[in-house]
A and B are shown apart, each in its own frame.
Chain A
Amino acid sequence: MAEIKCVDLCKTYLQGDAEVRALDHVTLDIEPASFICLSGPSGSGKTTLLNAIGGLDELDSGAISIDGERVDRLDGGALADLRLRHIGFVFQSYNLIPVLSARENVEFVMQVQGLPARERSQKARDILREVGLEGMEDRRPAQLSGGQQQRVAVARAIVSQPKLVLADEPTANLDSTSADQLMRLFRDLNDTHGVTFMIATHDERVMRYAKRLIRMQDGKVIGDDLQRPIDR
């Protein structure tokens, strides 16, 4: 479980000659075991906020802490360790390593963490079974459908039991059935393991699963509502 505090986050990009305010004095408190959707149009700052919390992007100003640790003050190596140990990422386009099988993709992060081969192999098989990919462990990404690849990506993100999963448009390339299955899986992990989820999405169906919906526009938070999620 991760408690996240974002205080007065500002981030400006240069797009050609124009200055774009991707984050404009954003302040958020995120409780442990939250299930949050970030919604808003393209360019509203959803991805930038996720990247900043995950230590992938630097801020112009502001402070981010995860369980009291200031993320914005960590150097590159410490940020890599933070992501490795405590944060799982799910990307829109899956981003699996093409030369590794489904099981090896899931094992990869555990190998970097230094887990013994037998343990990581067992964990990878278990998590792939959990996401419904039993029997497909040895297939390469190119041999899997989009939904199956996204499940592998989810398995990779959660296998190390991170405190926080950051998902950027995870259902964008999925059909509605696969998208529903994925969101149920996320909710299940949130409910049973207390993993905090922050999901950036345009998809109204995804938002229905959120316990808290944060709306963004032009780098600002314009709405922050608790809601009763649909029953998974």
Chain B
Amino acid sequence: MTLLLRMAWRNLWRHARRTWLTVTAMIFSNVLLVFMIALQFGTYDMMINNTLRAFSGHLQIQAEGYQENQRIRSSIPSIADLARDTRGALPSVGVSARAAAFALASSEERSYGIQVIGVEPEYEPTVSTLPGLLAHGRFLKDEMVPEIVIGAVMARNLKVTVGDEITLLGSGRDGSFAAAVMTVVGIFDTGMAEMDRSIAEVPLPFFQEVFAMQDHGHQVVMALNDLDALPAATAAVLPLADAREGLVALDWVALNPGLKQAIQADMSSAWFMYGVLIVLVAFSVLNTQLMSVLERTREFGVISALGVRPRRLAALVMLETTLMALLGLLIGLALGWLVTVYFHQAGFTYPGMEQAAERFNLPSRIYPSVTFSSILLGPSVVFGFCLLASIYPALRLLRLRPVDAMRTVA
């Protein structure tokens, strides 16, 4: 250990209580930041997964331009074959084909414009939580039958219930008149009013028949178990999309730009709060180091008189801050990691969360994300700001005049 390092370390403990107070502030903020950021990342993962698993999935293959303009003619031929090939390429991923069209749904009393989705009943539960949210009746069977499941709000609006009939009127892919009479077999309640009001699902083969789709569809939807697997899944799907003309693979960011924006907005407000905490810690360091420099002015004057250049004195102060910040970093990181790992295993919940989660078919606990970035991000920023805070006390030493400094009364 060099003499300068030894000196810096011992200088820290000349006022042990003051140093510990500053280090404790760093430890507290580091523990809090490690846990809060990990919890925040865990919450985002849950938000993304839950939102995507509700309907859109993490990844879709679509005809080029379909996402922007959902015309019935922007379809994919042999959609069931493409879905089967995708299942082969991604055996551990939920894959299901869909087709979609707008239609007028009429009951005996009322008519509403709705979006009709043709789904593969066998595979749809692997990409969407909607089949698990049925409040009444059952989900579709994988048969060529005129059955339909509708949202709770739509059922209320049309004044229908399970067993009643609905008439669909729309346009087929070839421009022909599409019409069908269908029996309501299930009513889902997602808790999301827009979805419950506007979406109805029918078996894909029946949809293709009614809307003259032949073997066409509009989306192959994929739902992953882990968001981190997205890059690998995208890489596996791209060749399938590229092999057919006019197809694209879109990830969740392209499919749900609003979700990404919501996360970014939340992250911005959270970092504002973290910023306040970090600035407070930085000011604590500034105060400690400034006091330390001021009360050692005479000593610095003597050292300077011995021939030590001012920049070396400034380096000594920076070194002292670095050691103090390292102490806060290491202890804070260790404690923060322990707390976070505990909640990563046990899950984190707050009063009322379990009831809400049960209603929306969501996990009842949040699991903080234990990753390199979630653990290190906050403490690294605290460390950096602590070093920045020591620049001002260090700069004062650059202007030190030995003869004046030595006249200072300690």
Residues in chain A within 8 A of chain B (CB atoms): 51, 54, 56-57, 76-77, 80-85, 87, 89, 91, 95, 97-100, 104, 107-109, 111-112, 156
Q: How many residues on chain B are close to A (CB under 8 Å)?
A: 23
- Is there an interface contact between B7 and A112, defined as CB atoms closer than 8 Å? no
Bound Cα distance from A83 to B304, whole angstroms: 9
- Is there an interface contact between A112 and B403, defined as CB atoms closer than 8 Å? no
B267 within 8 A of A: no
Bound Cα distance from A99 to B403, whole angstroms: 22
| Interface 9-mer from B201-209, B308-316, B325-333 | B308-316
The main secondary structure of chain B at its interface with chain A is: helix
- Distance between B346 CB and nearest chain A CB, rounded to angstroms: 46
| B-chain residues with CB within 8 Å of residue A98 when the two chains form the complex | 14, 299
Bound Cα distance from A57 to B4, whole angstroms: 26
Bound Cα distance from A97 to B305, whole angstroms: 13
- Is there an interface contact between A112 and B6, defined as CB atoms closer than 8 Å? no
| B-chain residues with CB within 8 Å of residue A84 when the two chains form the complex | 306-308
Bound Cα distance from A108 to B312, whole angstroms: 12
Total contacts A-B at CB 8 Å = 66
B106 within 8 A of A: no
- Is there an interface contact between A91 and B306, defined as CB atoms closer than 8 Å? no
A80 (CB) vs chain B CBs: closest residue:
B309
Bound Cα distance from A89 to B403, whole angstroms: 13
- Is there an interface contact between B306 and A83, defined as CB atoms closer than 8 Å? yes
- Is there an interface contact between B303 and A97, defined as CB atoms closer than 8 Å? yes
B178 within 8 A of A: no
Bound Cα distance from A85 to B307, whole angstroms: 8
- Is there an interface contact between B14 and A156, defined as CB atoms closer than 8 Å? no
- Is there an interface contact between A156 and B306, defined as CB atoms closer than 8 Å? yes
- Is there an interface contact between A100 and B7, defined as CB atoms closer than 8 Å? yes
- Is there an interface contact between A99 and B14, defined as CB atoms closer than 8 Å? yes
- Is there an interface contact between A56 and B307, defined as CB atoms closer than 8 Å? no
- Is there an interface contact between B312 and A91, defined as CB atoms closer than 8 Å? no
- Is there an interface contact between A89 and B305, defined as CB atoms closer than 8 Å? yes
- Is there an interface contact between A111 and B303, defined as CB atoms closer than 8 Å? no
B303 (CB) vs chain A CBs: closest residue:
A97
| B-chain residues with CB within 8 Å of residue A56 when the two chains form the complex | 305, 402-403, 406
Q: Of B10, B11, B307, which is within 8 A of A81 by CB?
A: B307
